[in-house]
A and B are shown apart, each in its own frame.
Chain A
Amino acid sequence: MEHHAEVLKGGIWHQRIPSWRDLAAMLLVLGIVVLLGTGARQMVAPFVVAHQPAISLSPTALPFYTLRTVMRMLAALILSLIFTFTYATLAGKSRRAETVLIPLLDVLQSVPILGYLSFTVVFFISLFPGNTLGPELAAVFAIFTSQAWNMAFSFYQALRTVPRDLDEASRSFRSSAWQRFWRLEVPFAMPGLIWNMMMSMSGGWFFVVASEAISVGDIQIALPGVGSYVARAIQERDLAAVGWAIIAMTIAILLYDQLLFRPMVAWADKFRFEQTAAQIVPRSVILELFRRSRLLRLLGEPIGTELHKTARARLTLPRRLHRVTRWSLPRRSVDVAWYGLLAAGLGYIVWELSRYARSTLSWSDVTIAAGNGALTLLRVAILIALASAIWVPIGVAVGLRPKLTEGVQPAAQFLAAFPANLLFPVAVFLIVRFDLAPKIWLSPLMILGTQWYILFNVIAGASAFPGDFREAAASFRVRRWRWWREVMLPGIFPYYVTGAITASGGAWNASIVSEAVSWGSERLSASGLGAYIAQMTEAGDYPRIALGIAVMSVLVISMNRLLWRPLYAFAERRMRLD
């Protein structure tokens, strides 16, 4: 999933890395995924997937399925947090680790999430043969991959941008690394982290649904959950069941938002770094309930005190170790050894990959994949343009009316979070029914779920547009066309770019499930890279899955580098007054 970390609200853009590192990181990711996947597959060649209970299409079974889905989501979120605190901290604190970890992260977040799945499923099943824990972990891992990267990015960037005076204050009080982490770094990163968690979650629903029911080659998995329920409904051509699933998911997402994120956002407001009072203070009924209720407060008090004590504890040992490694070894020779090691590892992976590729793939495979990639690229470009043409004017119209914004903004955010793949069967049913051309009519599905990012970012931009700029334009009676071109569009541009980046990243991911769909025994394919990967996955053709994923990653990364980043940097530069 594409990252929000660096484009977060007025975010700080910095060109982190020269591109050879991306290439290296790319090879590393691809190499590890392929090697692990094939290795695991060989280990358990004829393996038994655990006995799986059949999925029931009765609506009464749905609450339980939904609960399972939600639990997977939560588990992935917790894993992502742990990953964030360790990976990003390591990258933020160690210069050497940083040179590897950050480019790696950059590539990881460009790899299509469902692409990982076909490899990781095999790997996890082989870890726990004959146990549903394997597929469960694979599903959780898929959601994890949709959340962890941008959370880690946001935390890493926060670590890098801790204000100098706070850093000096913490050092002058001689805080230990542990105290500093909990007192300074985590709180400072909190608003960005929570924002990214919310964004990740909204992407995550899509993948949780997609990862519950998968078939890779001869492995068929259907974990109890909403996704499997829908998959079954598709097989059975049961439109009513699809409807029930949509309702269940809607309720689940709304509850998640109310019970988890709203309280979190309201609570995190105190971590805002600006020392001025906020104009709009985020509120949460649930949080107020917690804060006001005496009983809950009494229960919470001891926990709070313990947490406070933990954060105060010095735990100086790691710091001393840190210092030893820092000062006692000659830096240069360690550097040389470190880069040597990296080069050797990379060399090995390149060799292994090329050996693997040569034995299984030919150049014609590459051209086929690339051709499909071009088709999907064209689709993404057209769809983003279309979505922009529709949602930018609407977003501006809404954003300039505060009353309307209040109502529309949550709806747009909800739509962005809603897993669009639940709606696919409805669309496919219509396409089959009216005999429409799949190459054209399947395309909009790609952007069904992600177009809302454009809408709500534009709304946010328009509502943040300074009132005096608008009044100035009005008092000079700036004409309509000029007003759009010279007042409004430049004003919302950075927000639009943020939304468009997310939308296009999401569209790439969605292509894997939207370019090849089925309704009962009816199969539709729009061809394109997504369809290619989906078909190879079904066939269990690992080398070609890897090829497809690689092509897609390259396309996504180059689109980011060549289009979105320069655009974003441009927007940043133009909007600055100082």
Chain B
Amino acid sequence: MQAPAPPPVIDIRKVWMAFAKPSGEPLPVLAGIDIALPEGEILGLLGRSGSGKSTLLRIAGGLIKPTSGEVLYRGRPLAGPAEGIAVVFQTFALYPWLTVLENVELGLDALRLPLDVARRRAISAIDLIGLDGFQSAYPRELSGGMRQRVGFARAIVSDPVLLLMDEPFSALDVLTAETLRTDFLDLWIERQLPTKAVLMVTHNIEEAVLMCDRIIVLASNPGHIAAEIRVPLPQPRDRLDAAFHGIVDEIYSILTSRMTEAIGAQARIHGGLVQILPQVSPNRIGGFVETLASSAYAGQADLANFARPLALEINDLFPIAEALHILEFAELKEGAIKLTAAGRVFAQSGTEERKRLFREHLIRFVPLAAHIRHVLDEREEHRAPRARFEFELQDHLNQGDAEKTLRAAIDWGRYAELFSYDDETRTFALDHAAG
């Protein structure tokens, strides 16, 4: 990079973030993040839910103050939301009681413009984003795609230098999302926007490769930068291009290798009790295994190829893959997934046989489930309160993960008839079926 470049639009330096747990202890969500976003770049933050990417975006927008570290906006420390930074929200965040025009004007409220100037600018933003004719409509009259267009118009109306986008297309259906993406990219490439840089959060790998110049992969617990990938392809990009595929595959394999490492590491310490279980219903596991075992894949597939026709995003795909890997029904390696022998048997079996197999694997590979069963077996009355295991888990995991893990264990244990659980009394028990 050339030496006399202008300062980065946003410069995140050694940022740490921790929220307070109900118990008062800090719960770290971001650890030592360093990101500089130069002018002219679209930077993607990619990661699974819980990796802190949305928190990072809000820190960049001044909506949240980091616990430590600093954020420089064009070389100056950022204290709260600043002029020149605009946010596009995943949920659109439109005010339902204001019309499209009024919603867009809202983006100008802080600028103290005369009423007529504000109106003129709002109308030209609406025109630019392809909403003309809808000025007087209320958000509830619009489709999701049109609503997000209002979100975009509202963000660009104030001529922001930095545009922050928090999963802007993830609440839209596949086709609408694609149109909106290309429309936005057209504006960006043709330099119709005064915006100098874009920071975008996404959990859609192809979307990231399609739009971004650089992608930062965040890993969880606590969120940190796992990898940084440049996307040197010229715009507009072609999803069918081999180079495009290469980058998508690379990201998949980065993510899978991180995941298998983490699973392996968790299994080795504290007798496996620190293992975080993904919340995936046995039905989804079954469906996934069947699809993978079908003639289309014959038991193995690149995750990228598997995800595309099913339009699975990483938040759908990875938890299932993770569950299969933990239960050793499948093995993840370098962005590919392959059924194990047990996985193939599972795919062919009927309900009872599946449950039996699932139970075996649950006891062997999920120490928490085995532990719950063991405690119930030991106790004379074969009952144990949920709180007992909650406390045990919270020694090693943060509260959210402990809760999630326990819920997954309950779901799997119930399916496998390893134990039963009564939510009214919050107790585990062995019932005769499981005995």
Contacts and interface: CB of A to CB of B under 8 A. Distances in A.
B109 A175 contact: yes
Interface string A273-299: 111110000000000000000000000
B63 A171 contact: yes
B97 A271 contact: yes
A272 B86 contact: no
Given A168-B63, A171-B81, A276-B140, A312 B109 contact: yes
B97 A172 contact: no
Contact of B106 (A165, A183, A276): A183
B139 interface: yes
Given A165-B89, A172-B81, A172-B85, A187 B97 contact: yes
B356 interface: no
A173 interface: yes
B106 A172 contact: no
Contacts of A375: none
Contacts of A276: 140
A210 B147 CA distance: 52
A108 B81 CA distance: 40
B141 interface: yes
B140 A277 contact: yes
Given A172-B61, A172-B85, A277 B115 contact: no
B221 interface: no
Interface in B99-154: 106-107, 109-110, 112, 115, 138-141, 147
A277 B87 contact: no
A277 B96 CA distance: 11
B93 A166 contact: yes
A169 B80 CA distance: 13
Given A270-B97, A275-B139, A277-B141, A173 B107 contact: yes
Contacts of B89: 165, 168-169
Most B CB within 10 A of own CB, among A166, A169, A270 = A169
A326 interface: no
A270 B138 contact: yes
Contacts of A169: 87, 89, 93, 95, 106
Contacts of B266: none
B238 interface: no
B139 A166 contact: no
Contact of B110 (A173, A274, A275): A173
Contacts of A190: 97
Given A169-B87, A275-B140, A175 B110 contact: yes
A477 interface: no
A174 B98 CA distance: 18
Interface string B73-101: 00000001111011101111111111000
Given A165-B91, A168-B87, A172-B81, A275 B106 contact: no
B58 interface: yes
A168 B93 contact: yes
Contacts of A312: 109, 115
A309 interface: yes
Contacts of A163: 93
Contacts of A273: 96
Nearest to B141: A277
A271 B93 contact: no
B77 to A, nearest CB: 16
Given A168-B58, A173-B107, A275-B140, A270 B96 contact: yes
A184 B58 CA distance: 20
A314 interface: yes
A172 B87 contact: yes
Interface size class of B (residues with CB under 8 A): 20 to 34
Contacts of B61: 172
Nearest to A271: B97
A314 B95 contact: no
B96 A172 contact: no
Contacts of B158: 173
Nearest to A309: B115
A174 B93 contact: no
Contacts of A179: 109
B176 to A, nearest CB: 16
A172 B138 contact: no
A122 B179 CA distance: 71
Contacts of B58: 168
Contacts of A168: 58, 63, 87, 89, 93
Interface string A203-233: 0000000000000000000000000000000
Interface string B55-79: 0001001110000000000000000
A309 B115 CA distance: 8
Contacts of B93: 163, 165-166, 168-169
A173 B109 contact: yes
Most A CB within 10 A of own CB, among B86, B91, B112, B147 = B91
A12 B50 CA distance: 26
B94 to A, nearest CB: 8
Contacts of B138: 270
Interface in B33-57: none
Contacts of B140: 274-277
A398 to B, nearest CB: 30
Contacts of A275: 94, 96, 139-140, 147
B140 to A, nearest CB: 5
Given A183-B106, A270-B138, A314-B110, A174 B96 contact: no
B115 to A, nearest CB: 7
Nearest to A311: B109
Interface in A27-60: none
A320 to B, nearest CB: 12
Contact of B63 (A172, A176, A308): A172
Contacts of A274: 96, 140
Contacts of B87: 168-169, 172
Given A169-B87, A271-B97, A174 B81 contact: yes
A277 B140 CA distance: 6
Contacts of A277: 140-141
Given A169-B87, A174-B83, A271 B110 contact: no
B112 A314 contact: yes
A172 to B, nearest CB: 4
Nearest to A188: B97
A286 B101 CA distance: 27
Nearest to A175: B109
A391 B317 CA distance: 52
A272 B96 contact: yes
Nearest to B58: A168
A571 to B, nearest CB: 15
Contacts of B62: 172
A491 B233 CA distance: 58
Interface string A491-526: 000000000000000000000000000000000000
A314 B58 CA distance: 24
Contacts of B92: 165
Interface string A156-169: 00000001011011
A374 to B, nearest CB: 34
Most A CB within 10 A of own CB, among B89, B96, B109, B140 = B109
Contacts of A174: 80-83, 109-110
Nearest to A169: B93
B295 to A, nearest CB: 37
Contacts of B112: 314
A165 B96 CA distance: 12
8 contacts: A168-B58, A168-B87, A172-B81, A174-B81, A183-B95, A183-B98, A275-B140, A312-B109
Q: 5 smallest A-B Cβ distances: which pairs? A: A165-B93, A174-B110, A169-B93, A187-B97, A172-B87
Given A173-B107, A173-B158, A274-B96, 4 more contacts: A172-B85, A175-B110, A190-B97, A273-B96
Interface of A: 163, 165-166, 168-169, 171-176, 179, 183-184, 187, 190, 270-277, 305, 308-309, 312, 314
Interface of B: 58, 61-63, 80-83, 85-87, 89-98, 106-107, 109-110, 112, 115, 138-141, 147, 158
